[in-house]
Structure 1
Amino acid sequence: MNKNIIAIAIAAAGFIIGLAFLGSAIKNRNRADNTISVTGLGSNKFTSDLITWSGNFSRNSFELKSAYDELANDKKIIENYLVSKGIPKDKMVFSAVDIQKQFTYTNDSNGSSHQTFAGYQLSQTVSINSKEVAKIENLSRNITEIINLGIEFTSSPPNYFYTKLADVKQQMIADATKDAKQRAEKIAENSGSKLGHLKRATMGVTQITAPNSTEEYSYGGTFNTSSKDKEARITIKLEYEVD
């Protein structure tokens, strides 16, 4: 008899404790759900103030010294040309000479492959970093003037950068945060609630694209360097308690 009473008492106590845990869980769940999560956007349009440009020139010859001498002469002509266009010598960076052996390949009547030495190809690159964006831009567009000097020259498209990007990011973060808070206040007001303490803030990655472009955003952030004019965007996610 006593054993039955003890068993009933233990079961009753367990039931009460279970109800207490259940009530606490429901209370905590409701408290956790009593929040507002909003995402704010900050954006900024700006024009690049730094440009980088490079071009490659090469010479071919069966004699290594002959190819090297011709390439050295080309380098001097290019240097003089750039100086005539207002580019200081200290802004020109010439790479080391790259030397490649060239071969031609043929198959004989038995299907065997043979290679024949076709000479040396020597190449070099000239690079320019400058804040005179318009000047270097114009230079890259008129590179046929170098080709007309008898030089085998290949120009790469310029890349554009902005040296004050850190300032732009700070302003965008401030704008995105303000935008998110205003959205949260509006939601709380419309639901008859009051915005409480900020629980969590999460910043997205910076996406920099050409204005009005169809470039896709990437998970790690996009950084367009092909457009002189750029548009940067960043998002801030805020989570508030609601009273």
Structure 2
Amino acid sequence: MKSHILTVAAIIIGAAMLSYALFSSVKYFKSYDRVVSVKGLAEVEVTANRVIWPLSFKEIGNDLASLYSSINAKNKIIKDYLVASGLEESEISVSAPQIIDMSAERYQSQPATYRYNITSVLTVTSEKVDIVRGLISSQSDLLQKGIALSTGDYQYVTQFLYTKLNDIKPAMIEEATRNARASAEKFAKDSDSKLGKIKSASQGQFSISDRDANSPHVKVVRVVSTVEYLLRD
């Protein structure tokens, strides 16, 4: 009987000790499972280092041969003007003319005044962004030479590009991480905690956008990093 009582007592004491150990381990685990998730933003303005500028004009008429001659002559005038303004011939490409035969249009309600509507497109692809911007602003020079460039055509939109992202990536990631840590430190201070090590981190996608509608050559590069820090009491 006495032996049985001792056995039961030992079981009770052992269970109590096990419960205490489990409780302590849970508290210990939870204290190390406290985290704060923060985001850090890095943003920088850059200037486009490449431009793609399509120049298009139209010719209409009934004699296809004379239209081709006129287009070739005007293409040469445009190329000579661009080269004289500081661009290289290798930066200028000429696309095949786009021809619309108005007499073949199915939905033409009335006979067209002219049979052919031809569009010619020259494309400048250059890293001389400042020169091209100046040329875009002085298109009236070509008008004086008898060439009216088409404007407002969604197919031929000037593109300003920034292609040196890899040059600024490391510094931007460092800044985003630093800003994330500053936010985490403030949170830890406000909650009477201490900031621990990084539990996890993820880098968001870099984005490049125009600063505003009137300055498409000025870009804003952004990246957001998400970092989880452990918290200590």
TM-score by length of 2: 0.74
**Aligned-pair CA distance for 1:61:** 1.6
- Of residues 111, 118, 138 in structure 2, which corresponds to 1:116? 111
* Equivalent pair of 2:162/2:219 in contact (CA under 8 Å): no
Give per-residue Cα distances to partners, 1:124-166, cap 9 Å, x unaligned: 1111122222211111111122122222322566432223222
User: Which residue is equivalent to 1:66?
Assistant: 66
Give per-residue Cα distances to partners, 1:65-101, cap 9 Å, x unaligned: 2221211111122122222222221111111111111
Alignment partner of 1:227 is 2:222: no
* Equivalent pair of 1:204/1:236 in contact (CA under 8 Å): yes
* Equivalent pair of 1:160/1:226 in contact (CA under 8 Å): no
Gaps of at least 5 residues in structure 2 are 1-18
* Equivalent pair of 1:103/1:115 in contact (CA under 8 Å): no
* Equivalent pair of 2:102/2:117 in contact (CA under 8 Å): yes
Give per-residue Cα distances to partners, 1:85-128, cap 9 Å, x unaligned: 222211111111111112499x9xxxxx8553541112111111
Name the count of aligned residue pairs.
209
Alignment partner of 1:131 is 2:131: no
Q: What pairs up with 1:1-243 in 2 under 5 angstroms?
A: 30=30, 34-103=34-103, 114=109, 116=111, 118-154=114-150, 158-211=158-211, 213=212, 227-243=216-232
* Equivalent pair of 1:53/1:127 in contact (CA under 8 Å): yes
**Aligned-pair CA distance for 1:57:** 1.6
TM-score by length of 1: 0.72
Quick check: which one's strand share is greater? 1
User: Which residue is equivalent to 1:219?
Assistant: none
CA distance in 2, matches of 1:114, 1:142: 39
CA distance in 1, matches of 2:146, 2:37: 65
Further displaced range: 35-44 or 82-91: 82-91
CA distance in 2, matches of 1:51, 1:64: 33
Identity %: 29
Alpha carbons of structure 1 residues 28 and 126: separation in structure 2 relative to 1, 3 Å: farther
**Aligned-pair CA distance for 1:55:** 0.8
Alpha carbons of structure 1 residues 32 and 59: separation in structure 2 relative to 1, 3 Å: farther
CA distance in 1, matches of 2:189, 2:148: 69
**Aligned-pair CA distance for 1:32:** 8.3
CA distance in 1, matches of 2:227, 2:120: 52
**Aligned-pair CA distance for 1:206:** 2.6
* Equivalent pair of 1:197/1:241 in contact (CA under 8 Å): yes
CA distance in 2, matches of 1:29, 1:71: 78
Gaps of at least 5 residues in structure 1 are 1-18, 108-112, 216-224
Report the aligned-residue RMSD. Answer: 3.5
